[in-house]
Amino acid sequence: MGSPYLSYVEECMRTKRFREATIKTYRHWIKRFILYNCKRHPSKMHNAEVERFLSYLANQRNCAPQTQATALNALVFLYREVVKQPLSLQLDYRQSKRQPKLPVVLTEAEVATLLQYLSPPYLLLAQLLYGSGLRKMEALRLRVHDIDFDYANIAIWDAKGGKHRRVTLAKRLFEPLQQQIGVARQYYERDLKIDDYAGVSLPHALERKYPLANKQFGWHYLFPSQSLCHDPNGGELRRHHIHPTAISRAIRQSSRRIGITKHVTCHTLRHSFATHLLQRGADIRTIQAQLGHSDLKTTQIYTHVINMGADGVASPLDSL
């Protein structure tokens, strides 16, 4: 039987229209925090216990800085929105210092071979990950009207950090995308005939501003799931997008089938997009904008994997 308190915390997050992935992640860290403190109720704890838990993640668990930051965000939400006793802005804890991993990058030949072993709709998804540098969830959450054929770009809304951007669209994907839009329309027209169909889910603010948009085709997902499901926020019957594990599994299996020894994930295609643009002489600021990075230092990590070696230094061994 699940924890009534954690269920209540989940409900608070759903009321605030948090994404399901965020709800799952925050619940995980709040549960770990409670277990670490011998199941004491959060209302009986505060800054000191949070500081010890975050230091434990750095010292004993050797968590990455991003992981520790996610745990902190979960606890900030818990104490601000649920316990109603916000944490101090000056928490004193040991911050994780583990160095980030270098990105895994495929060669252009490896990307081409990988794509040959994928079938629709995963082929088109992978082509968008590599051809436009999208994150996995950015590709899965694409709506039909996000594709701009006139200017060959894709609108990415409410991405990581709540940012919007436009990215390049390969012209060779025009025809496959038109075909995928046709597939999405078939699902759409079929769903409209179902009495209980409540339309596609929308961000809360848009749902209030455009109350009829949930049944307009342009707002529907470009990569719809094969089956309808009930929305966890309100129980309405809707059609969501393809599940993230499906595309992850397809890419992983394809890479194994063709014998790639590198650890290949959906994000590997995004890494490869950035690295191959650098190799072709693209300006790093342009790549930063395409990837949606706030800090240029995040983008500069790709300079470490180009053919000439770290920071563009050629090895003296090559001249012997």
Compare 65 and 309 and report the one with higher pLDDT: 65
Q: Which domains does the chain show, CATH number per domain? A: 4-82 (1.10.150.130), 101-309 (1.10.443.10)
Most distant CA pair in the chain, distance? 75
In contact, 95 and 65? CB cutoff 8 Å: yes
Is the per-residue pLDDT at 25 higher than 90?
yes
Higher pLDDT, residue 281 or 111: 111
Give percent of the chain above pLDDT 90: 73
Determine the 3-state secondary structure of 197 from DSSP: strand
Positive or negative: CA dihedral 55, 61, 64, 69: negative
Instruction: Give the mean pLDDT of the chain.
Output: 91
Percentage, residues of the chain above pLDDT 70: 94
pLDDT over 90 at 219, yes or no: yes
Confidence band, pLDDT 50/70/90 cuts, at residue 313: low
HEC string for the chain: CCCHHHHHHHHHHHHCCCCHHHHHHHHHHHHHHHHHCCCCCHHHCCHHHHHHHHHHHHHCCCCCHHHHHHHHHHHHHHHHHHCCCCCCCCCCCCCCCCCCCCCCCCCHHHHHHHHHCCCCCHHHHHHHHHHHCCCHHHHHCCEHHHEECCCCEEEECCCHHHCCEEEECCHHHHHHHHHHHHHHHHHHHHHHCCCCECCCCCCHHHHHHCCCHHHCHHHCECCECCCCEECCCCCCEECCECCHHHHHHHHHHHHHHCCCCCCCCHHHHHHHHHHHHHHCCCCHHHHHHHHCCCCHHHHHHHHHCCCCCHHHCCCHHHHC
Predicted pLDDT of residue 174: 97
Predicted pLDDT at 161? 77
pLDDT recorded at residue 67: 93
Query: What's the pLDDT at 305?
Result: 65
Q: What residues act catalytically?
A: 135, 160, 267, 270, 293, 302
Residue type, 221: Y
More confident residue, 160 or 37: 37
Q: Tell me the pLDDT band of 103, cut-offs 50, 70 and 90.
A: confident
Q: Give the pLDDT confidence of 132-169 residue by residue, as tens digits.
A: 999 999 999 999 999 999 999 999 998 887 889 999 99
242 Cβ contact partners less than 8 Å away, ≥ 6 residues apart: 121, 125, 140, 223, 224, 225
pLDDT at 129: 97
Q: What is the pTM of this model?
A: 0.82
pLDDT for the residue 298:
84
What is the reported pLDDT for 206? 78
pLDDT tier at 1, thresholds 50, 70, 90 = low
Number of H helices, E strands in the chain: 13, 5
Reported as a pLDDT band with limits 50, 70 and 90, residue 315 is low
